[in-house]
Structure 1
Amino acid sequence: VGDIIDVKSLNIVEDRTPAPGFLSEADLITMMEANGIGTDASIPTHISNIIERNYVTVKEGRKLVPTPLGQALVKSYCEIDPELVLPKVRSNIEKSCELISKGRAD
């Protein structure tokens, strides 16, 4: 404790972490199921909707690539409240709607 040392050399490297790859439809389905978003019946509709609304395009390997519109939508949500883009928010909304539809919540 309190020792002083001499630095012989220093090498600083600046780099960037690569962006994650795009999700395939199968990856998205797995993530939606893991986060309690949608049902077996509604998940394909959700995916069709984001494609039809031009939020993503489908590329080779069934990869879903965000369009400028999709990116702008997410950016706008993040500016309003960063939590809006979290899967738990969508999951909580769906659970609340289900409880309301069954008369177990207001």
Structure 2
Amino acid sequence: MMGTAHGSALGFAGGVGVTALAGSWPPAALAGLVAVVAAVSWWTTPAGAALTAAQCWGLYASFVVGHGGHLVPDWPALAVLTAAGATSLLPLRPRRPRESPTPGPESPTSRSGEFYVQAR
């Protein structure tokens, strides 16, 4: 896993490359930027993923939608890029062991039908 600064820099470089290659085709540019955000988010921290999504959105809104570097806010594109970053970070979430109800040892409460939770 790379740090926030390196992930952000890699995401910006990838975003510039995609914008330069597919800048005149908005759907292709957005798909390429989503791929950049997803790929970089897989290897960086959550903050690096968020910065990458914001940078790619800025590139898309400034050079693909708002030609010539003029920022034209495209909120659906920001939502798509943020969702790509968030989805690629799902494997980083902490996992809790599954708990299942099992009968407890013989006690007055276990005879009345109550169960306690035992971790595997």
TM range (shorter): under 0.3
Q: TM-score, normalised by structure 1?
A: 0.24
1 or 2, which has the higher helix percentage?
Answer: 2
Larger Rg: 2
